[in-house]
């Protein structure tokens, strides 16, 4: 094996690794960027802040319940001594529920599951309180349910949201990120590192890489052994002060290797993450089970019909219909500007390929000269696009008004009509041209399993600045893993893309 790895690592940690080393031992590459105070210092700092905030909010909500109940006569209260005891007991119950539910667990801090656990723990605490109130006939506890629950829930979610945004801001600057050691073959290490570095919501910073594969020609005696590889990994974890080990390749010894590595990592705080077998599989499709100690991971196959797709269609009809009504005056203004800017029709129609290969006429605001199709042949040699796409940053066919429309994706708005009549969806893969679809292989044909979209993962992920392979990967990942919640998130992110366009030309 020869070449280099590491060129796709995050910029602060990018280093070139010479794989022409003479030793057959697994080779580790670390960086000098380790925090002298420990890479997990940020985590403990944030966790203490979270817990103190939670405790302050719980005390505030409980005290407010007592005060409102006393001032308004919401419920008869026990003597002050009993009130203090009940309030203190409930503070401990509520805060204890938050701790028992692991709402500040390191692996969920800053993620969507965190808020779910916070709300779940609060509901559990109030459920216990409701049962106590019912069976012990303590009327004064009703004020906690009427005042403390809504107030505390809102403040807890608000507090966690504040800390999440602060953490996101720090991570966007490359701070407060768990340090990772990536293990595997060179290409797999590069792939994982590139994906982590490209993420719009950073989760890890790659601090070290361990090459676990031998070079071509290695014999059984010279190839790295399981023990050698595990030793190299644990050494890298210690040197890089790492928080997580990510296996980017399937180890030769499979389960034995994973079990042995997990045992060796017990003495450290590093977490073990497997990345090789679930690429492009959303966690909503994964279910875990155990049979007599045998761990099983069930991966649901993608579905392309059923209730979920009918709900998507209903959402498309409602949103596109409302948008067409409210945007009609805006459409009229754009139409006037187009007619004044250049000769030709307001709308441009082009044959595109939709679900299952069906063809339809996609409508857009005209942003080019009427001779655009005829002029294309003379521009093919200047193509700046990737793969089957034709793109040109300074396309001479684009009109003055068209350049503005394309920059802010306003030329795409008439596709709301295609969505309303059923040719397209609001969210989906980019609708391909006929000449593009004719060149699709079996893998790319999967893009046509669902309706193309006005926006999608490609639209919010960089658009024309993406490579062809990255565009395809995003589209195929969407086709197999889409959800209504995911669609709503893409719609929300599309607003930011339109306001601050990236890769639009």
By the 10 Å C-beta count (0-12 exposed, 13-18 middle, 19+ buried), 228 is classed as middle
CA dist 433 and 450 (Å) reads 16
SS3 424: coil
CA distance 308 to 321: 20
Distance CA 451, CA 352 (A): 11
Structure tokens at 70: 């006393």
Q: Residue 80: pLDDT band by 50, 70, 90 thresholds?
A: low
Q: Which of 473, 471, 472, 421 lies closest to 451, judged by CA?
A: 421
As a whole number of angstroms, the distance between CA 14 and CA 35 comes to: 17
Query: What is the predicted pLDDT for the residue at 57?
Result: 92
* Neighbour-count burial for 63-81, b at 16+ CB within 10 Å, e otherwise: ebbbebbeeeebbebeeee
Question: What integer pLDDT is reported at residue 56 of this predicted model?
Answer: 93
What is the pLDDT averaged over residues 155-178?
Answer: 82
CA distance 127 to 143: 14
176 Ramachandran zone, left/alpha/beta (phi>0; psi -120 to 50): left
Residue listed under structure tokens 């339109």: 498
**CB contact at 8 A, 451 and 354:** yes
Provide the pLDDT confidence category of residue 471 given band limits of 50, 70 and 90.
confident
pLDDT at 6 over 80: no
Distance CA(26)–CA(212), nearest Å, equals 5
On whether the CB atoms of residues 224 and 24 are closer than 8 A, the answer is yes
* Res 14: pLDDT: 32
Greatest extent of the chain over all pairs of C-alpha atoms, in Å: 90
pLDDT band at 4 (very low <50, low <70, confident <90, very high): very low
Whether pLDDT at 325 is above 80: yes
Per-residue pLDDT for 328 more than 70? Answer: yes
pLDDT digits (tens, 9 = 90+) for 271-306: 888 886 666 677 777 777 777 767 777 778 888 888
State the Cα–Cα distance between residues 309 and 425, nearest whole angstrom: 11
Task: Say if CB 401 and CB 337 are below 8 A apart.
Answer: yes
Say yes or no to pLDDT of 10 above 70.
no
**386 with 471: CB under 8 angstroms?**
yes
Q: Report helix angle 226-240 to 255-264, nearest 10.
A: 40
CB atoms within 10 A of CB 217: 8
Residues 6+ apart with CB under 8 A from 350: 361, 362, 364, 433
User: Picking from 245-259, 418-432, 443-457, which range would have the lowest pLDDT averaged per residue?
Assistant: 245-259
> How many residues in the chain?
505
Angle at 407 between CA 404 and CA 409, to 5 degrees: 100
In the predicted model, is pLDDT for residue 78 greater than 60? Answer: no
Average pLDDT value for residue range 128-146: 70
Q: Which two three-digit tokens encode residue 297?
A: 């991971």
Residue 40 pLDDT grade (very low, low, confident, very high; cuts 50, 70, 90): low
- Token pair 């795409």 is found at 412
End-to-end CA gap in the chain: 41
The pLDDT value given to residue 462: 59
The pLDDT score that the predictor gives to residue 126 is 83
Spatial distance between the Cα atoms of 125 and 127, rounded to a whole number of angstroms:
5
């Amino acid at each position: 094996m020869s070449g280099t790895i590491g060129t796709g690592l995050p910029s602060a940690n990018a280093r070139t690794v010479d794989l022409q080393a003479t030793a057959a031992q697994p080779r580790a590459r670390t960086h000098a960027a380790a925090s002298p105070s420990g890479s997990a210092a940020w985590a403990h700092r944030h966790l203490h802040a979270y817990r103190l905030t939670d405790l302050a909010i719980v005390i505030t909500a409980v005290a407010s319940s007592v005060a409102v109940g006393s001032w308004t006569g919401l419920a008869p209260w026990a003597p002050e001594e009993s009130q203090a005891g009940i309030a203190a007991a409930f503070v401990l119950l509520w805060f204890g529920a938050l701790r028992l539910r692991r709402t500040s667990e390191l692996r969920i801090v800053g993620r969507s599951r965190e808020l779910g656990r916070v709300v779940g723990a609060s509901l559990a605490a109030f459920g216990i309180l409701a049962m106590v109130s019912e069976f012990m006939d303590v009327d004064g506890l009703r004020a906690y349910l009427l005042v403390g629950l809504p107030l505390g829930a809102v403040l807890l979610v608000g507090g966690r949201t504040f800390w999440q945004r602060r953490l996101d801001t720090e991570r966007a600057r490359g701070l407060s990120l768990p340090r990772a050691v990536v293990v595997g073959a060179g290409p797999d290490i590069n792939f994982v590192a590139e994906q982590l570095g490209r993420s719009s919501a950073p989760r890890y910073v790659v601090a070290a890489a361990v090459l676990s594969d031998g070079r071509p020609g290695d014999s059984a005696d010279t190839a790295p052994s399981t023990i050698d590889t595990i030793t190299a990994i644990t050494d890298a974890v210690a040197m890089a002060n790492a928080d997580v080990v990510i296996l980017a390749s399937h180890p030769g010894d499979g389960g034995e290797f994973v079990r042995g590595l997990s045992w060796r990592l017990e003495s450290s705080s590093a977490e073990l993450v497997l990345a090789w077998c679930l690429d492009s599989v959303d966690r909503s499709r994964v279910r875990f089970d155990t049979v007599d100690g045998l761990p099983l991971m069930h991966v649901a196959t993608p579905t392309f019909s059923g209730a979920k797709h009918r709900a998507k269609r209903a959402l498309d009809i409602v949103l596109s219909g409302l948008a067409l009504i409210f945007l009609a005056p805006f459409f009229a203004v754009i139409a006037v500007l187009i007619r004044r800017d250049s000769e030709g029709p307001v709308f441009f129609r082009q044959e595109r390929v939709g679900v299952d290969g069906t063809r339809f006429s996609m409508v857009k605001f005209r942003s080019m000269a009427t001779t655009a199709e005829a002029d294309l042949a003379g521009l093919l040699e200047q193509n700046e696009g990737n793969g089957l796409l034709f793109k040109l940053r300074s396309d001479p066919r684009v009109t003055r008004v068209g350049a503005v429309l394309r920059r802010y994706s306003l030329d795409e708005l008439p596709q709301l009509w295609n969505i309303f009549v059923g040719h397209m969806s609001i969210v989906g893969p980019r609708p391909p041209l006929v000449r593009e679809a004719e060149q699709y292989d079996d893998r790319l044909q999967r893009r046509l399993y669902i309706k193309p979209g006005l926006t999608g993962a490609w639209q919010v992920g960089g658009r024309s600045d993406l490579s062809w392979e990255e565009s395809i990967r995003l589209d195929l990942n969407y086709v197999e893993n889409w959800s209504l919640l995911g669609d709503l998130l893409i719609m929300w992110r599309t607003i930011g893309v339109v306001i601050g366009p990236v890769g639009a030309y």
